[in-house]
Amino acid sequence: MRYASRKEDFLPRSFYNIKADLPAPPKPPLHPGTKEPLKPEDLEAIFPKSFIRQEGVTDREVPIPEPVLEAYSVFRPTPLIEATALRKALDTPARIFYKYEGVGPVGSHKTNTAIMQAYLAAQDGVKTLATETGAGQWGSALAYAGSRFGIETRIFMVRSSFRQKPGRRVIMEMFGGTVLESPSPTTEAGRKFYDQDHEHPGSLGIAISEAVEVTLKTPGVKYALGSVLDSVLMHQTVIGLEAEKQMEEMGVVPDTIIGCVGGGSNFAGLAFPFIRHNLRGERKARFIAVEPEACPSLTRGALRYDFGDSVGMTPLLYMYTLGMDFVPPPLHAGGLRYHGMAPLVSHLAAMGIVEPRAVDEKTVFDRAVLFMKTEGILPAPESSHAISVAVDEALAAKKEGRERTILFNLSGHGFLDISAYARNGHGGKA
Ligand SMILES: *Cc1c(COP(=O)(O)O)cnc(C)c1O
């Protein structure tokens, strides 16, 4: 069945589950109370049952349901583009390619898992999905997916972003979502921080605690998470599966694959289908996960069990973490302000397959402007972290006088981040 006309129809029919190919599994999540490995029924108070089944699936290929394919076909396959103008500006022998996820309904990769999660919740008869959002991309993706599959959404938005990005709130509300500023006085978890400081900037960890609390206390409400979990990363593999076919069709194989990391989902989505060839010993590509210097969970955090939220309500995950109490400074790349890292990305980093890299915000903004001037696309501040390292790698190739094939994920556009660019001195006289 075709739902849209595209020059090439590379839309995958299954997600790729990297757990089927790992030599050893990551350490399992633990119950927050008993500290014993989590049983699927432990999650039933929080997540829809169909979602829990996806989280536990061990098959290599997991079929994408027809209604989800239909929703994907609005914007997938997304374009795979060679950055020829950027290459010219850098005068590098390296070829640079990017997968552009900004063409989705709300402008980022988050829609890929939002659609799948809303579909699964609707199958289970869930009435409302509660969630948190940092920069607002996840909240708007879930609000859209909810409206498509007849599910209400209740979204706790981190205060620093709520204030910086009013446009995102408007979008969520237009889709029918209810948006609350976090930390809020409406939950016990929120009040812990709100009572100390009514202007508390908030964090993803705090907002997660609030959404989980509402889920536990309200019948008919289940929780949705936009990153970190195994199945969320798996839903994002449509990105890499498409990219691989698109590059094959162009006759190129990437040797360096780059993505920014907040919780790890867009990076995993692009990288995992390529990592599978490394795991099978067929290739030796490099995989670089880029994070902000100000929130360096992979480069400076410890690999240990930690809570996914800031209050200690979620299961314990074995991951690189800065600690559940870490409140990152109010970065412009709000989507990268998370204290932990997906257990699967952490596992691959510990195995030495994923190389972590931290970059500073000023360089990131300058590179974003260079990218915009050459390629014409305004990148999300999060995605600009990947651009920044793609430029570094292209310049390194120039120094070495070596041909390279770089592929990075342009996880979203920055049309609702204009004020962040303006505050960094761009647009005025720059
Ligand atoms: C949320 C977001 C990120 C960070 O989240 P990951 O789960 O690490 O992908 C990166 N880029 C954009 C555009 C986002 O919206």
- Each residue of 120-154: pLDDT tens digit? 999 999 999 999 998 899 999 999 999 999 999 99
Q: What is the pLDDT of residue 65?
A: 98
List, in order, residues 6 or more apart from 211 with CB less than 8 Å away: 130, 131, 132, 154, 155, 156, 223
**Closest ligand 1 atom, residue 261 Cα:** 8
| Cβ–Cβ under 8 Å, residues 85 and 374 | yes
Distances (CA, A) of 143 to 34, 140, 383, 411, 414: 34, 5, 22, 19, 19
Q: What is the pLDDT of residue 43?
A: 94
Query: Is it the case that residue 3 has pLDDT exceeding 70?
Result: no
Q: Is 112 in the pocket of ligand 1 (CB under 6 A)?
A: no
Say how far apart CA 237 and CA 345 lie, in whole Å: 13
Distances (CA, A) of 42 to 38, 45, 46, 49, 248: 6, 7, 8, 11, 43
Q: Would you say domain 14-37+44-60+110-230 falls under CATH 3.40.50.1100?
A: yes
Q: Is 137 in the pocket of ligand 1 (CB under 6 A)?
A: yes
- Pairing of the two strands 354-359 and 316-321: unpaired
Helix (H, G, I), strand (E, B) or coil at 142: helix
The secondary structure of residue 129, as a DSSP letter, is E
| DSSP letter for each residue of 1-49 | ---S--SS----SEEE-GGGT-SSPPPPPB-TTT-SBPPGGGGTTTS-H
- Which residue's alpha carbon is nearest to atom 13 within ligand 1? 412
The residue assigned the tokens 């108070």 is 45
- Which residue's alpha carbon is nearest to atom 4 within ligand 1? 262
Burial of 355 per CB tally in 10 Å (0-12, 13-18, 19+): middle
Q: Is 264 in the pocket of ligand 1 (CB under 6 A)?
A: yes
- Distance (angstroms) between ligand 1 centre and the Cα of 417 equals 14
Say how far apart CA 224 and CA 231 lie, in whole Å: 12
Residue to probe by mutation, ligand 1, list 103, 110, 387, most atoms within 8 Å of CB: 110
**Closest ligand 1 atom, residue 226 Cα:** 7
- Each residue of 233-258: pLDDT tens digit? 999 999 999 999 999 999 999 999 99
Query: Is it the case that residue 405 has pLDDT exceeding 60?
Result: yes
Chain mean pLDDT for the chain: 94
The secondary structure of residue 359, as a DSSP letter, is E
Cis status, amide bond into 183, omega within 30 of 0: yes
- Give the mean model confidence (pLDDT) for residues 293-303: 96
β-bridge mates for residue 16, sequence order: 61
Q: Is 411 in the pocket of ligand 1 (CB under 6 A)?
A: yes
- Give the mean model confidence (pLDDT) for residues 328-341: 84
- The candidate with the shortest Cα–Cα distance to 222, out of 127, 112, 116, is 127
For the whole model, what pTM was predicted? 0.96
- Which residue's alpha carbon is nearest to atom 3 within ligand 1? 335
- Give the mean model confidence (pLDDT) for residues 186-198: 96
Q: What is the pLDDT of residue 430?
A: 38
Q: What is the pLDDT of residue 6?
A: 67
Query: Where in the sequence of the chain do the CATH 3.40.50.1100 domains occur?
Result: 2-8+66-108+236-423, 14-37+44-60+110-230
- Distance (angstroms) between ligand 1 centre and the Cα of 359 equals 16
Q: What is the pLDDT of residue 429?
A: 41
* Tokens matching residue 382: 């999060």
Helix (H, G, I), strand (E, B) or coil at 378: coil
Backbone torsion region of residue 341, taken as left when φ is above 0, otherwise alpha when ψ lies between -120 and 50, otherwise beta: beta
- Each residue of 262-296: pLDDT tens digit? 999 999 999 999 999 999 999 999 999 999 999 99
Q: What is the CATH number of domain 2-8+66-108+236-423?
A: 3.40.50.1100
- Give the mean model confidence (pLDDT) for residues 170-194: 97
| DSSP alpha helix (H) spans, 218-360 | 230-235, 238-250, 265-279, 297-300, 343-350
- Give the mean model confidence (pLDDT) for residues 289-313: 94
Dihedral sign, CA of 29, 32, 36, 41?
negative
The secondary structure of residue 105, as a DSSP letter, is T
| Cβ–Cβ under 8 Å, residues 110 and 141 | yes
Say how far apart CA 289 and CA 347 lie, in whole Å: 13
- Please report, in angstroms and rounded to a whole number, the separation of the first and last CA atoms in the chain: 49
Residue 330 pLDDT class (50, 70, 90 cuts): confident
- Each residue of 9-61: pLDDT tens digit? 799 999 999 999 999 999 999 999 999 999 999 999 999 999 999 999 999 99
- Give the mean model confidence (pLDDT) for residues 317-325: 96
- The candidate with the shortest Cα–Cα distance to 233, out of 18, 411, 12, is 18
List, in order, residues 6 or more apart from 298 with CB less than 8 Å away: 261, 289, 291, 320, 341, 345, 346, 349, 354, 356, 358
Query: Is it the case that residue 78 has pLDDT exceeding 70?
Result: yes
